[in-house]
Structure 1
Amino acid sequence: MTRTQKTLFVLVAAVALVLGLTVNKVLNSKGDGTDKVALLDAGIVLLPQSRSLPDLSLTNQDGQAQAVDQLKGQWSLLFFGYTFCPDICPATLAQLRQLKGMLPAETQAQLRVVLVTVDPQRDNPEQLKKYLGFFDPAFMGLTGAQEDLQKLAGAVSIPYIPADTSKENYTVDHSGNLVIIGPDGTQRGFIRAPLNNDKLAAQLPGLLGVK
């Protein structure tokens, strides 16, 4: 096993541990567990306490500065991926486009999908905008300095390993989980991969407070 593979194994294990501990806390917290079980069955893991995002400024697909701790006013689903990804990213974005179409209009209006790149070397704002336009022009893209992107990923427990950009056609190892950000700009939880759109479509309207 190479050093990179060992590092990836540790990161994956750490993410699994965080999610496992969170699920345990949710199931053992006081209150009616019916909704909690339904949410978990849909892959939605809510944190026992909300988590603030780091004070960082990234750049969106329109080239405008975006403070990550100011993703407010809507619920947001953050997906850490990249536009040159051969498999998981296009599949996930296609699922999110489909999921959005399955939700009531009121719920759609409360939801923002954000692709946070793990490949800032290639994913400039223009590339992000072009790529996201293939799925849904309303999807937001964020890029920035590698250290800032890693800081954000670590803060929301979705770490990744920066690629060796000296190699041609390099790929980046990353998670398929989504991060749930509330309308107050804090992290509320995760959605575990692989996505189950039918179950998510049934649970998200209630979670977002829209009937």
Structure 2
Amino acid sequence: MAVHVTLRPISVSEYARMREAGILAEDDRVELIAGEIRRTSPIGPLHAAIVKKLNELLLLLLAQSAIVSVQDPIQLDDLSEPQPDLAVLKRRDDFYRQGIPTAEDTLIVIEVADASADYDRKEKIPRYASAGIPEAWLIDVTNQVIEQYTLPGKSRYQNVRIHEWDDTLTAQVIPGLQIKVEQVFGL
């Protein structure tokens, strides 16, 4: 006889209390997506190098006009608090000391994906769109392309552009922010 168990979603506030209580350690590779605590993929050397390279490029190009957040949480709604690889946040003098940035604070969210590309593309990117984040980038390590998502809708981004090796990605939400794809992958 099969037993059917109904799971109750975990809220962002419950998730925070689990961390505070030590149920989840600070170094646990997990994030809250749609009320579920999900493990994140391990970070390999190439993934880490691309995150560092993008961080350096963004810091130089943005010249303190925005905050670059690296592998920190963003609260999308009451049930989701993902930890994207990078996020470009609206500038605040307190650097979000009083609380985790929300979707409204986020200008661009960036996922660096090797083994997680399908998951990020099908699960996380649509959630960023639903939350109203104006722009998302998926750095596809395997295919060495950058997918740029703009015009967020109810369940997906309305516009998707694929940038290849010789292309220059121009951010839609931050005037003047341009990154050459070869700069990202040509380590």
TM-score (norm 1): 0.27
Higher share of residues assigned helix: 1
Higher share of residues assigned strand: 2
TM-score (norm 2): 0.30
